[in-house]
Amino acid sequence: MTETDAKGKNRETLSWCMYDWAYSAFATVVISAVLPVYYSQVAASNLESNIATAYWGYTTVITLFIAAVLSPVVGAIADYSGMKKRLLLLFAALGIFSTALLYFVKTGDWLLASLFFIFGNIGFTVSEVFYNSMLPYVARPGEMDRVSIKGYIFGYTGGGILLAVDIAMIELMSDKLLATRLSFLTVSLWWAVFTIPLILNVKEPPGGTGGARGVNPLTAGFKRLSGTFRELRKYRELALFLAAFWVYNDGIGTIIKMATIYGAEIGISQTALIGALLMTQFVGIPFSFAFGRLAGIIGPKNSILLGLSVYTVISIGGYFMENAVHFWILAFLVGTVQGGTQALSRSMFGSMLPRDKTAEFFGFYGMSSKFAGIVGPLVFAVVSQTTGSSRLSIFSLIAFFVIGAAMLSQVDVEKGIRAAGEGNVSTDPGAPGA
């Protein structure tokens, strides 16, 4: 690779990471920090607190179900037609526009808030399928772990910076409700502006067939998806990893989506909740680096298992949580493991992929996380609604981490990498795509 090619590759990798910087603002401000509290205290203020928590859980279930159905289908279409980047931008636009509409949600508008969040989260989650599928193309051979970790660090930093700006705006403005609604507009603008580097500098990965004339990409996409179910049998370790990820990521996702509204339910102030989540963002930066180094010593799988053990402790602590100090302690623990476990899961999955089907299989990866993500929030919502409290809901998440860890421990990563290589021209999961 010439020096010019190397600079171009570095620019492409950096621009890919910048999308994590862009869309992570939705994850921090809308999913985790500001909207759950606003939903509980304003949009659903006419409901009982535990019912507001339950309705937020049901809203999350609906959006994840829709995204789960869409992800593998559009992933297969993208692989066939060579439209990964274009479809990413399409769903990003959906998310950006829907997030801006949250500005119009006011007191009692919980149904409208749920509707706008559903469309925004679909844009967020489905665009992530195409973003993830570009990883094997933007990373140099053998550098997927490092680039994946780098993307998460960009996400933590970008999302954390905007969250800090929004916290300052909410605290300084006399009209707190207006400031909160304006924070949704800042997310929309941030997401749009920082997607531009990806538009300009990241190349469209090639399609599996180059988009042959006379063939409908939608029809071909469904056919290819059907074939992928059968083809997964050739990749036992990949399928086993997906099943493990399906379970443990459900627990991780539920903590991310439900922690703030759970804190609001037990009486923790908005300032304390959002401040703790801001801390989580910046704690996540050095610990994501640390997880990358740790993976180089004990391997990605063992590093993920360590992270799942910490999440088990967090679930136990959540059951006994009583005040803001407890929430801050648990938020700190989440920050130590969240970025590392998710980044290493992504790169571990990518290392076992057949290279000509990255979007298709990352569609399955997205489907796994979304369908899996349905169970946790649904259990959380049902338990909260039936018992009148969410303490047992948070405690129930232990099962997801224990079972997921047991399944992950059975995955032979090296065997999975070899199996993927046998089905492709190159056996190196980081090799340049044709």
Looking at residue 190, its pLDDT comes to: 98
Confidence band for 260, pLDDT divided at 50, 70 and 90: confident
* Identity of the highest mean pLDDT range in 76-90, 140-154, 187-201: 187-201
pLDDT tops 60 at residue 212: no
For residue 300, CA distances in Å to 80, 346, 430 come to: 30, 10, 16
Looking at residue 164, its pLDDT comes to: 92
Of 148, 176, 190, 168, give the one whose Cα is nearest residue 27.
190
| Percent share of the chain, pLDDT over 70 | 85
Looking at residue 228, its pLDDT comes to: 67
Tens of pLDDT, residue by residue over 294-346, are 988 998 999 999 999 999 999 898 888 888 899 999 989 998 998 889 888 88
pLDDT tops 80 at residue 96: yes
Confidence band for 217, pLDDT divided at 50, 70 and 90: low
Looking at residue 206, its pLDDT comes to: 72
pLDDT: which is higher, 176 or 226 = 176
Q: Where are the domains of the chain?
A: 15-200+235-421
Lowest-confidence segment of 99-108, 230-239, 296-305, 420-429 by average pLDDT: 420-429
| Percent share of the chain, pLDDT over 90 | 34
Three-class DSSP labels, the chain: CCHHHHHHHHHHHHHHHHHHHHHHHHHHHHHHHHHHHHHHHHHCCCCCHHHHHHHHHHHHHHHHHHHHHHHHHHHHHHHHHCCHHHHHHHHHHHHHHHHHHHHHCCCCCHHHHHHHHHHHHHHHHHHHHHHHHCHHHHCCCCCHHHHHHHHHHHHHHHHHHHHHHHHHHHHHCCCHHHHHHHHHHHHHHHHHHCCHHHHHHCCCCCCCCCCCCCCCHHHHHHHHHHHHHHHHHHCHHHHHHHHHHHHHHHHHHHHHHHHHHHHHHCCCCHHHHHHHHHHHHHHHHHHHHHHHHHHHHHCHHHHHHHHHHHHHHHHHHHHHCCCHHHHHHHHHHHHHHHHHHHHHHHHHHHHCCCHHHHHHHHHHHHHHHHHHHHHHHHHHHHHHHHHCCCHHHHHHCHHHHHHHHHHHCCCCHHHHHHHHHHCCCCCCCCCCCC
The answer to whether residues 364 and 315 touch, using CB atoms and an 8 Å cutoff, is: no
Helix axes 358-387, 324-351, angle to 10 degrees: 150
pLDDT tops 50 at residue 253: yes
What is the mean pLDDT of the segment spanning 356-384?
A: 71
What is the mean pLDDT of the segment spanning 355-364?
A: 69
pLDDT tops 70 at residue 426: no
Looking at residue 2, its pLDDT comes to: 61
Rounded CA gap, 80 and 377, in Å?
33
C-alpha gyration radius of the chain: 21
Tens of pLDDT, residue by residue over 120-177, are 999 998 898 889 888 888 888 778 778 888 888 899 899 989 999 999 999 899 999 9
pTM above 0.75, yes or no: no
Tens of pLDDT, residue by residue over 13-30, are 999 999 999 999 999 999
What is the mean pLDDT of the segment spanning 81-102?
A: 93
Rounded CA gap, 330 and 83, in Å?
41
Per the listing, tokens 């999350």 go with: 60
What is the mean pLDDT of the segment spanning 97-122?
A: 96
Rounded CA gap, 358 and 347, in Å?
12
Of 65, 194, 79, give the one whose Cα is nearest residue 130.
79
Confidence band for 215, pLDDT divided at 50, 70 and 90: low
pLDDT: which is higher, 234 or 238 = 238
pLDDT tops 70 at residue 3: no
| Average pLDDT of the chain, as a whole number | 83
Tens of pLDDT, residue by residue over 35-50, are 988 998 899 998 887 7
pLDDT tops 50 at residue 115: yes
For residue 163, CA distances in Å to 204, 211, 260, 410 come to: 31, 41, 14, 39
Looking at residue 235, its pLDDT comes to: 84
What are the structure tokens assigned to 131, written together? 């973003």
Helix axes 324-351, 300-320, angle to 10 degrees: 160
Looking at residue 37, its pLDDT comes to: 87
What is the mean pLDDT of the segment spanning 363-375?
A: 67
The answer to whether residues 157 and 27 touch, using CB atoms and an 8 Å cutoff, is: no
Looking at residue 363, its pLDDT comes to: 64
pLDDT tops 50 at residue 430: no
Helix axes 300-320, 236-265, angle to 10 degrees: 30
pLDDT: which is higher, 170 or 2 = 170
What are the structure tokens assigned to 318, written together? 């959540």
**Assigned CATH topology for domain 15-200+235-421:** Growth Hormone; Chain: A; (1.20.1250)
What is the mean pLDDT of the segment spanning 176-205?
A: 95
